[in-house]
């Protein structure tokens, strides 16, 4: 058992109790009070452990260990997506029960951030003197914009090399490109609904959508699995990370099917986004197929707005994606874009991290590619490394997110060895 397991579990539980999902800007707290307080508390814990820290205006924080001109980054984030619905545990309770720590951020990404901090502490206690200056960087806006990274690059110097513990093991050598767009499907003066809304985050599969039809067909609603509450039509789905929409159930889809025969705008949206009539989802390479997930819908003044999460293959040209989107024949806005990450499978960084994984788990493995986007792409030479493993229950961006205490123990060991090997 790792010497810092018990205190790491307590610290993860404490960090979960901060609702650090994005809220309204406050002075000194650009992403809301919860995210700011979580960052301050994390840095306070690091100071108590004997590390130097820096809070960059509430946008992002930093814990440093070691000296030297060359620097090495461990990029984590403390913000989380909104809790969403369907929880059986308090999403911000940090409950430790049944060998698990429950709550939003347990895996994504507060748990791994805490494990990296205590891995540094264990190295410090052992007398390890790194040849590089290690920067444990803690963002507060990873989930919806990366303004924290933009701010860091303005006020500090980002290391060129490092890893981000915010993805999968054994090690990630490539990440798809990420494109968030908001499409506008104009409705006629009198659409078949007074109200239609669903979804909370662009990178989170919509698990709840509701509408108020002008005329309610009970039989059709029942056939589509929709609920009726008074004059409201309700669809309940299952949340999942936007990069893996196949692991969720999109609540928008049956609502669109209910209205598409009476609304040209809804029909067009359904054909383009769910039927994929222009073949966007057929684009693929070694990093996988393009995914398209319509995750937020709003109806505003004869305008049906749908925000989509698109993850495109690493070797694809984003201009080709835009060319296909223009075929939809509707106005759209680009809300967010991150270029893909492609690092050689045989690169020193990837092979070192792979070797640590194999040493700690006793499993032979190969580097993999993912659709998710991590802070690793903020580095010139970066890779994503854990904390999830093949066979894990999908809990990221879903209800009842948790991390097992057994996994915390393993992460402490893995990250301690990885940091030591990469900064010796």
Q: Domains along the chain?
A: 5-175+341-423 (3.40.630.10), 177-338 (3.30.70.360)
| pLDDT value, residue 185 | 98
Annotated active-site residue in 19, 79, 207, 388 = 79
275 as an active site residue: the answer is no
**Paired tokens of 276:** 């994929």
Q: How confident is the model at residue 188 (pLDDT cuts 50, 70, 90)?
A: confident
Count other Cβ atoms within 10 Å, centred on residue 281: 12
Q: Is residue 165 pLDDT above 90, yes or no?
A: yes
| pLDDT value, residue 79 | 98
Cα atoms in the 13 Å half-sphere on the side-chain side of 285: 17
| pLDDT value, residue 373 | 83
**Paired tokens of 424:** 């010796």
Is the Cβ–Cβ distance between 165 and 372 less than 8 Å? no
Count other Cβ atoms within 10 Å, centred on residue 260: 18
| pLDDT value, residue 372 | 80
pTM, two decimals, is: 0.82
Coil, helix or strand for 168?
Answer: strand
Q: How confident is the model at residue 145 (pLDDT cuts 50, 70, 90)?
A: confident
Annotated active-site residue in 142, 168, 253, 388 = 142
Q: Is residue 176 pLDDT above 90, yes or no?
A: yes
More confident residue, 190 or 163: 163
Q: Taking residues 165-175, what's their average pLDDT?
A: 96
Q: Is residue 189 pLDDT above 90, yes or no?
A: no
pLDDT digits (tens, 9 = 90+) for 297-327: 999 989 999 999 999 999 999 999 999 999 9
406 as an active site residue: the answer is no
Is the Cβ–Cβ distance between 118 and 111 less than 8 Å? no
Q: How confident is the model at residue 134 (pLDDT cuts 50, 70, 90)?
A: very high
Q: How confident is the model at residue 296 (pLDDT cuts 50, 70, 90)?
A: very high
| pLDDT value, residue 144 | 84
Question: What is the percent of the chain where pLDDT is above 90?
Answer: 93
Q: Is residue 172 pLDDT above 90, yes or no?
A: yes
Q: How confident is the model at residue 150 (pLDDT cuts 50, 70, 90)?
A: very high
Q: Is residue 70 pLDDT above 90, yes or no?
A: yes
Q: What is the sign of the dihedral through the CA atoms of 15, 18, 23 and 28?
A: negative
Q: Taking residues 75-87, what's their average pLDDT?
A: 94
What is the residue-averaged pLDDT of the chain?
96
| pLDDT value, residue 40 | 98
| pLDDT value, residue 85 | 87
Alpha helices in 52-107 (DSSP H): none
Residue 12 sits at the vertex; the CA angle it makes with 153 and 393, to the nearest 5 degrees, is 95
Question: What is the percent of the chain where pLDDT is above 70?
Answer: 100
Q: Taking residues 362-390, what's their average pLDDT?
A: 94
Range of lowest pLDDT (46-60, 88-102, 363-377, 403-417): 363-377
Q: Which of 84, 224, 3 is nearest to 92 (CA)?
A: 84
């Amino acid at each position: 058992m790792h010497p810092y397991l018990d205190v790491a579990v307590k610290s993860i539980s404490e960090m979960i109790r901060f609702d650090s999902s994005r809220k309204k800007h406050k002075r000194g707290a650009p992403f809301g009070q919860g995210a700011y307080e979580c960052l301050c508390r994390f840095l306070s814990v690091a100071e108590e452990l004997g590390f130097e820290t820096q809070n960059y205006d509430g946008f992002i924080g930093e814990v440093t260990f070691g000296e030297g001109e060359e620097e090495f980054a461990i990029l984590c984030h403390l913000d989380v997506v909104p809790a969403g619905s369907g929880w059986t545990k308090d999403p911000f309770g940090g409950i430790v029960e049944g060998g698990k720590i429950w709550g939003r951020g347990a895996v994504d990404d507060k748990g791994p951030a805490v494990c990296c901090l205590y891995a540094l502490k264990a190295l410090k206690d052992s007398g390890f003197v790194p040849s590089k200056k290690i920067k444990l960087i803690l963002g507060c806006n990873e989930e919806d914009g990366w303004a924290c990274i933009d701010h860091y690059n303005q006020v500090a110097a980002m290391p060129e090399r490092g890893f981000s513990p915010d993805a999968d093991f054994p090690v990630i050598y490539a990440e798809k490109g990420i494109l968030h767009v908001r499409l506008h499907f104009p409705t006629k003066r009198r659409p078949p609904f007074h109200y239609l809304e669903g979804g909370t985050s662009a990178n989170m599969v919509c698990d709840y959508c509701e509408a108020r039809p002008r005329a309610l067909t009970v039989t059709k609603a029942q056939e589509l699995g929709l609920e009726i509450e008074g004059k409201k039509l309700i669809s309940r789905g299952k949340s999942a990370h936007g990069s893996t929409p196949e692991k969720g159930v999109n609540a928008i889809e049956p609502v669109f099917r209910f209205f598409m025969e009476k609304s040209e705008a809804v029909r067009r949206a359904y054909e383009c986004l769910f039927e994929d009539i222009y073949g966007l989802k057929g684009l693929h390479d070694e990093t996988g197929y393009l995914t398209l997930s319509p995750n937020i819908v709003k109806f505003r003044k004869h305008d049906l707005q749908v925000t989509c999460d698109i993850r495109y293959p690493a070797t694809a040209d984003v201009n080709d994606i835009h060319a296909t989107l223009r075929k939809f024949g509707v106005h759209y806005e680009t809300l967010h874009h991150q270029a893909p990450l492609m690092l050689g499978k045989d690169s020193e960084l990837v092979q070192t991290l792979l070797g640590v994984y194999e040493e700690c788990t006793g499993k032979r493995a190969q580097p993999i590619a993912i659709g998710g986007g991590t802070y690793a792409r903020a580095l010139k030479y970066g890779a994503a490394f854990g904390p999830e493993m093949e066979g894990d229950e999908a809990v990221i961006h879903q209800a009842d997110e948790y991390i097992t205490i057994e996994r915390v123990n393993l992460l402490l060991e893995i990250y301690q060895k990885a940091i030591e090997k990469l900064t010796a």
